[in-house]
Amino acid sequence: MKKQNIKSLDLNHLEKIFKELGEPAYRARQVYDWLWNKQANGFEKMTNLSKELRTKLDELFYIPKSRFSQTEQSIDGTLKNAVTLPDRLIVESVLIPEGKRVTACISSQVGCSLDCTFCATATLKRMRNLSVDEIVDQVVEAQQQSLEHYGTPLTNIVFMGMGEPLLNYENVVKAIRIITAPDGLHFGARRITVSTAGIPKMIKRLADENLRVKLAVSLHAAIDETRSRLMPVNARTGGLQSLSEALQYWYRKTKSVITFEYLVFKNINDDEKHIEALVKMARKVPSKVNLIEYNPTDSFDRYQKADNRSLEKYRTALKKAGITVTLRRSRGQDIDAACGQLAARYENPDLPKIPTKKVFRNPSHL
């Protein structure tokens, strides 16, 4: 009989299995504690279980482990990690220190199925979704790394790494429940942000989960024509009208303010009409805006970073409209760890690369 990944089971499922084995429910909770709080990588280490039960569990299950296999450090202290998954594929995870905050940027897919034209991850073919344990293991590894490098535990988690979290919906939600559960990692839900390119029906579904997490939307343009060129998913999912309706639903259900992530590109979205459109969009639902410097990569030569004057015009207009706005400076840019730069490219032959999609270099189609 093929062994099952025990870390893929939530506590309720585990309790049912233990009942079928003739074991009391509290044994399942003990095992759950060993898996997530004590990080046991073998059943023999679960010393409060009988030897007979440990042997039985070893016959039925296995305990996989994703690990940080390579780490690069930026001059600003940011750490970019190659995460080797149990099947030897690679994703990236980033640890970002900033003041008293240490944020783990977590991946949810191997590669990405979206074709955002400014993002290095979009050049990678989507191989598969990450499993629940592969997502949670990134948090566990990041927690240990934060303590070792910065002497402090994680303060925040953002699903802003490789992949679109809402296209791996079931596993991301299950992982968040483990991360936040008292008998899991017991991490505060309000310190977790799920970032999406904007999948309206999945935003509504997430609002109904009562997870108490925050939502960030990669917007980058509040004019349909521009946004669809930057992010083809916009046209495929009903455009900005559909997105606005989903965000209004999110706020009605959760009372949680939305964050708009907004890259400003030279000669693309740095003019007055785009500024006015963003102000109008941000007024439709309680929100705040993070203006982000564009991070160039070797994969793209079609875009340029907007100048500081354009960023200041955005900030002035948003503040005048009463909208909270922050200018987010790039972190880890020198090691390709900044927003839009994750591409899992490593020279080590033991770390297999994810196949790349075709990259268009001609900017004229914009």
Domain ranges of the chain: 4-62, 67-365
Provide the pLDDT confidence category of residue 34 given band limits of 50, 70 and 90.
very high
Phi, psi at 260, each rounded to 5°: -95, 120
pLDDT at 8: 87
pLDDT at 155: 98
Architecture of domain 4-62: Orthogonal Bundle (1.10)
Pairing of strands 109-110, 128-129: antiparallel
Provide the pLDDT confidence category of residue 301 given band limits of 50, 70 and 90.
low
pLDDT at 330: 60
- Judge whether residue 169 has pLDDT over 70: yes
Read off the amino acid at residue 236: R
Ramachandran category for residue 344: left, alpha or beta (phi over 0 → left; psi -120 to 50 → alpha)? left
pLDDT at 300: 54
Catalytic machinery residues: 92, 339
- Judge whether residue 81 has pLDDT over 80: yes
Residue range 54-83: mean pLDDT, rounded = 92
Residue range 342-366: mean pLDDT, rounded = 43
Q: Is the pTM of this model over 0.75?
A: yes
- Judge whether residue 42 has pLDDT over 60: yes
CATH class for the region spanning 67-365: alpha beta
Decide if 62 contacts 43 (C-beta within 8 A).
Answer: no
Query: What is the percent of the chain where pLDDT is above 70?
Result: 88
Decide if 113 contacts 126 (C-beta within 8 A).
Answer: yes
Ramachandran category for residue 90: left, alpha or beta (phi over 0 → left; psi -120 to 50 → alpha)? beta
Tell me what the pLDDT averaged over the chain comes to.
Answer: 88
pLDDT at 89: 92
